[in-house]
Structure 1
Amino acid sequence: MDCMILILVFLGFSLHSCSHFPPRKYYYVNLAKNWTDAQLYCRGKYSDLATIVSMDDISRLQPTFTYSWAWIGMADDPKSWRDSMGNDSNSWRSSATGETSKTGYQNWIVNQPANENGNEKCVAMYTNGKWYDAPCEGIRTFVCYNVTNQNTKTYVFISTSKRWTDARDYCREHYTDLPMIENNVENNAVYSAKPASAQPWIGLYRMPWTWSDKTQSSFTHWQNGSPTNYVGDQYCNSETPLHEWSAGTCSIKLPFICHQVSKVKTTVRMKFKTRADITDPATNTQILQQLDAELKRRGWTDFKLRWKIQPKKQEEEKFTEPPCS
């Protein structure tokens, strides 16, 4: 059984969390640009439009602004959820899998989804079988689905009205989940399970707003009453002089905030004990891919991985590598 030392070198990494290291440095740019142009400017001269994931980040921002608002790097691109099913982090996902659609199937009512008032993150089925987005806090009936031993899906209408999350939990406890609809046959089956007048929850939801640099964070600092999307085109985020967030129309020209992430180099030594040939290119590529995926899942971004395998010690050397434990 081979015992080998794997050295992983992280070049220019950043860990996005409340204990973020290295800390971002923020730069206020007093140029009036729309959100897209501001993003391009920041990516050209710094790291990106400002990412803000904690109150510690906010404490490092400039105390006052020249203008009332300034763009930051948060947006809710409608191409990812309105014009198609999409596969971005703010796209529609299935409750049953937590993943975006594999088929791209959609059955929206005309002019839906609309995200009216900026808070429509869940999906219901209209009386005619078409879909529309709605506030998840709304109370309505729902349909659950179950999978039999023959891998056949059956659908059950639940007449008790619940919020979307409570409906999901009920379905998971008593059946499989809220319906995952990937084709017209499944949509018709859900439609047939409900009464004609019912408008039940189905298993589509999304998490709006993403950071320009793809950082994943649940931290928010919205101004009271925001976001609203009251004119139907407020998909980009800005900061007020109090560093509170307010959604606005992306074409408006505002000053903006960029951030720069310091580049550091960190080496992580990992010891492997395996029967596999780690020197095999296919094997070490697979290992790096798995590490890359796991680190990104944990919130690491902007890093590169490479490895070095220490040469085998010559028999005549006095120093011997300790056995793997």
Structure 2
Amino acid sequence: MKVSLSQCCFIDCQLYQFHYINKEKTWTEAQQYCRENHTDLATVTNMKDMKRLINISSGYQRGAWIGLNSKAEFTRTWHWSLPELEFSESETNWVKREPNDKRNQGSENCGILNKNMSWEDTSLFFAVDNVILVKEKMNWEDALYYCRDHHHDLVTITNMDDQRWIQEKVKKASTDHVWMGLRYTCTLDFWFWVSDEVVIYQNWADGEPTDDCDMSGAMETGGRHQWRKKNDLEEFNFLCTKD
């Protein structure tokens, strides 16, 4: 996938009418929205459908969700979100070497339609344009409240796709690290995301983290963009998620 930060939108259909929904959502949120407001995420079974979708969504920046996903627990089998609609490999239009399922270590299980009508697999959490880099210098707590007062929350990184997209954005920071929503609790002795997500994916630098009180997680804005524990009172730029 193209390593850039771009708007993540999706497309849905009702009675073979396609609607372009200019909202930033994860694949699961997009599916729920379509099922509640229309019929389902778009099913793309031929080149004519793809051309129609591209025509109605000509203003989007990169790619849009379609109703294509797979279950990775056992065998990699792709299917359409619309119930009882059979998926056919002969109708696919994957980018060369896709679906590869490599960047996200086994969980690139949702499909997007690119502007050139090709398909890619990616994580269902892909909604990176939902992230804002704030170039003010603040300590971790002030950054947290700033995000909650002006946007939504400090950023959460749950997979390698999130990491790859976000590390492109942090290159524009004015500090050598940026705060994330990652915090250590002395009382319970573990790291956690302030969004209540479990810390599964990790990108700590070698030797990190040693568990100390009053520490939070920050990403390097250069080099390998790894995570480091930093004292809460240090002041960095930070990443917020939108509402």
User: If the length of structure 2 is used for normalisation, what is the TM-score?
Assistant: 0.41
Q: For the pair shown, which has the larger CA radius of gyration, 1 or 2?
A: 1
Higher relative contact order (CA 8 A, sep 6+): 1
User: If the length of structure 1 is used for normalisation, what is the TM-score?
Assistant: 0.31
